[in-house]
């Protein structure tokens, strides 16, 4: 299924909002720590992991590298780099849990880790322990690293063009 068929709404996230939401996530995570370190899910989890690492004074950061999206659609999770161990004492950080497919692969690799995402959709929400903002399943979260500043049509024009 193509992204355009699956997503009916857009939720643009600015750098400032991502920073605020990342810091809010760090506040929620304080009670679950201390953590041995952070495992950032690349690529989306890198920026939130940096924010959380700063706020929780964590210096040991590793990555798990999984690719499940291309520019058109979400596909099967492809593990590019894993990590050793079962995740005990570690914090996994990602930007978003969508359907839960990637999160489930990570959960199987690191079942004892605490999994946190900044944003969560209903299908993926059960896969994570902590998140900040829930968005509907039919919403595309547009992260600042995937966007540029440009003119956009007023919502009413978009809605009326679908009729």
What is the residue-wise DSSP string for 98-158? SSSHHHHHHHHH-TTSEEEEEEE-TTTGGG-SEEEEE--TTEEEE-GGG--------HHHH
Catalytic site includes residue 95:
yes
| Mean local confidence (pLDDT), 72-85 | 77
Which residue is catalytic, options 57, 88, 95, 129?
95
| Cβ burial, residue 6 (10 Å; 0-12/13-18/19+) | middle
Note the pLDDT of residue 48.
98
Does the pLDDT at position 100 exceed 70? yes
- Residue-level pLDDT at 20: 98
DSSP-assigned beta bridge partners for residue 126:
none
Whether the Cβ atoms of residue 63 and residue 48 lie closer than 8 Å to each other: no
Catalytic choice (84, 94, 138, 162): 94
Token output for 138: 């039919």
| Residue, of 19 and 66, whose pLDDT is higher | 19
Domains, in order of start, for the chain: 3-161 (3.40.50.2020)
The residue that leads in pLDDT, 78 or 18, is: 18
Query: Does the active-site annotation cover 129?
Result: no
Catalytic residue among 98, 129, 162, 163: 98
pLDDT at 17 > cutoff 90:
yes
CB 150 within 8 A of CB 17: no
How close are the terminal C-alpha atoms of the chain, in Å?
23
pLDDT tens, residue by residue, 24-65:
999 999 999 999 999 999 999 999 999 999 999 999 999 999
pLDDT the model gives residue 71: 46
């Amino acid at each position: 299924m193509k992204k355009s068929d699956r997503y009916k709404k857009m939720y643009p996230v600015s750098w400032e909002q991502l920073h605020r939401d990342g810091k809010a996530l760090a506040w929620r995570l304080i009670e679950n720590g201390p953590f041995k370190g952070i495992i950032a899910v690349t690529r989306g989890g890198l920026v939130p992991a940096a924010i959380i690492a700063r706020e929780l004074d964590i210096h040991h950061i590793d990555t798990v590298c999984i690719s499940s999206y291309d520019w058109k659609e979400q596909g099967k999770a492809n593990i590019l780099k894993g990590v050793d161990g079962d995740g005990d004492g570690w914090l996994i950080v990602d930007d978003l849990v969508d359907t839960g497919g990637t999160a489930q692969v990570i959960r199987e690799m690191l079942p004892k880790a605490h999994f946190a995402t900044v944003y969560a959709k209903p299908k993926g929400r059960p896969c994570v322990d902590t998140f900040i903002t829930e968005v509907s399943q039919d919403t595309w979260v547009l992260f600042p690293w995937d966007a540029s500043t440009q003119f956009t049509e007023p919502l009413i024009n978009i809605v009326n063009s679908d009729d």
